[in-house]
Amino acid sequence: MTNDMLRAPAEVKYAEELDWLESIDDGPKPFSWRLSPKMVRLFVLGSERADGLDREVSQKWFGDRSFVERSIVTLASDRGLLLIGDPGTGKSWLAELLAAAISRNSTLVVQGTAGTTEDHIKYSWNVSMVIAKGQSRASMIPSPIMTAMERGVIGRFEELTRSTSDVQDALISILSEKYISIPELDEDNIVFAQPGFSIIATANSRDRGVNDLSSALKRRFNFVRIPVVTNKKSEAEIVRFRTTELLHRHRIELDVPPNLLDILLQSFADLRAAADSATSDDEKLESALSTAEQIGVLEDAILHSTFFGDRELRAETLAGSLVGSLARRSPEDLAILNKYWHGVVEPRSKQDGGEWPAFLEGGRQAIATLS
C-alpha cells in the first residue's frame, strides 16, 4: 500500500508495528485511545532491551523522553497540546506520530496560513446540494477538526501562529466548550466532541509577532518547547534515520560515508556558531540551519550523485549542495558562505586533510558559479 503513495502517513507506514503493539498492549487506555500511554511512548521513542519485548520497535523521533511523556499526558487530559520550536526541530513529525499511535489517523490536519478561515476549522457547505435540497447535515462539509470531534480522535493544526486572530478565537470556543454550533440548522445543530478528542497544534517560534496567540488561547494549551538539536550524536542519528527513509523511498542504494556525514554536521555547527555571534541579521544566513535542512542538503547531494554522477557520494557534491541550499539571498548569504569557506574550511582542510580539501574546492566552485 505504501508503494502507491508519495509519502505514506505514519499509521500506514508503521501499520504492522502498530497492529503488533495493540495485540500485546494490556495497559489502561484513556478514552478511545488505540494504545496505552506507555505503548505510545514506546512507539515514538523505540524499545530498549529492558522492555523485554519479543521484537524491536524502531525509534522514530529523536529527542528528550520528557518532551514525549509530557505531550502524551497532555493529550490524556482535556487540554490541547502546542508543540513550539524553531523550524526543523521535528514538531510536525512528533505530532503525526502521536496522532498515529493514539488514533491510527494522523491526516485530520488544518494548515494554518494567512488564508485560513473559520470554515477551515468548523464546517462549510456543498453549494450544489444546498441549492438542490437546502441546508442539512448531508450538505454540510465538516472540517478535519469537526471530524476529529465526532470520532473522538486527535485533530492537528499546523503553524497556528500563521492563522489570523478570527481563526484563533474560533479555536478557543472549540477547546473550551468541546462542541460546535451550526446556527443554519433548526435540528441536529450541535456537534459534540466525543471522548478522546484533542488537538495537537504546532507553532514556529520564529513566527513570533506574525499573529501572536492571545492569553485566552494560551490557557487552553499545554506548551511543550522542542529545542534545536545541538548534540552531534543525536543529530547524526536523526540525519541517518531520515536519509535512510528517503533513500528507500527513491529506491536508491548508495552509502553515505561517515566522514562526509561528519563534515556536514561540523559545517552546520560552525555556521550556527557564526550566526549566534553575529551582531546583525545581515551577518546571518537566512536559513534556520535546522536538522531538517541538513537532511535536505544530504538528499540533494545523494540524488545529484545518483542521476548525474557515478553513484558515489563525494565531498565536492556535498559542498555544492550545501552552498546551493543555503545561499538564498544574493549577495548577503553568498558573502557569509564565502567568509566561512575562506576562514574556516580552508584552514581545516590544511590541518585535517581527508575529505576537507575536496569539500573546500567544491564549495569554492559553487560560490563562484552563484556569484
pLDDT given at position 286: 85
Nearest 10 degrees: Cα torsion 144, 149, 150, 152: 120
Residues shown for the chain? 371
Find the mean pLDDT for residues 122-148: 94
Find the mean pLDDT for residues 204-219: 75
Sheet holding 154-158, edge to edge: 109-111, 154-158, 198-204, 80-85, 221-226
For the chain, list the strands marked E by DSSP.
80-85, 109-111, 123-125, 140-142, 154-158, 179-181, 190-192, 198-204, 221-226
pLDDT at 227 over 60: yes
Q: What is the pTM for the complete model shown?
A: 0.85
Cell of 215: 492569553
pLDDT given at position 255: 78
In this predicted model, what pLDDT tens digit does every residue of 151-183 receive, in sequence order?
A: 999 999 999 988 888 898 889 989 999 999 999
Percent of the chain beyond pLDDT 90? 59
Report the C-alpha gap between 80 and 96 in whole angstroms. 15
What is the SS3 assignment for 214?
coil
Report the C-alpha gap between 79 and 122 in whole angstroms. 19
In this predicted model, what pLDDT tens digit does every residue of 261-270 receive, in sequence order?
A: 999 999 999 9
Report the C-alpha gap between 77 and 79 in whole angstroms. 6
Strongest mean pLDDT among 2-11, 14-23, 56-65, 309-318: 14-23
Long-range Cβ contact pairs of 5-12 (< 8 A, separation 24 or more): 7/249, 9/96, 9/100, 9/106, 9/107, 10/60, 10/96, 10/97, 10/99, 10/100, 10/106, 11/99, 11/100, 11/104, 11/105, 11/106
Find the mean pLDDT for residues 110-117: 91
pLDDT given at position 208: 58
CB-side neighbour CA atoms (13 Å) of 230: 9
* Residue 204 pLDDT level (bands cut at 50, 70, 90): confident
Element (H, E) at 318: helix 315-326
The single-letter code of the amino acid at 103 is S
Cell of 302: 545523494
pLDDT given at position 174: 93
Contacts of 140 (CB under 8 A, 6+ apart): 123, 124, 125, 126, 182
Find the mean pLDDT for residues 76-84: 91
In this predicted model, what pLDDT tens digit does every residue of 336-363 receive, in sequence order?
A: 999 999 999 999 999 988 999 999 999 9
In this predicted model, what pLDDT tens digit does every residue of 35-65 receive, in sequence order?
A: 999 999 999 999 988 888 889 998 999 888 8
pLDDT given at position 211: 65
pLDDT given at position 51: 82
* Pick from 66-75, 133-142, 198-207: least confident: 198-207
pLDDT given at position 232: 77
Tell which wins on pLDDT, 208 or 300: 300
pLDDT at 209 over 60: no
Average pLDDT over the chain reads: 89
Closest to 206 measured CA to CA, from 287, 291, 87, 93: 87
pLDDT given at position 198: 95
Tell which wins on pLDDT, 310 or 367: 367
Cell of 341: 569557506
pLDDT given at position 3: 60
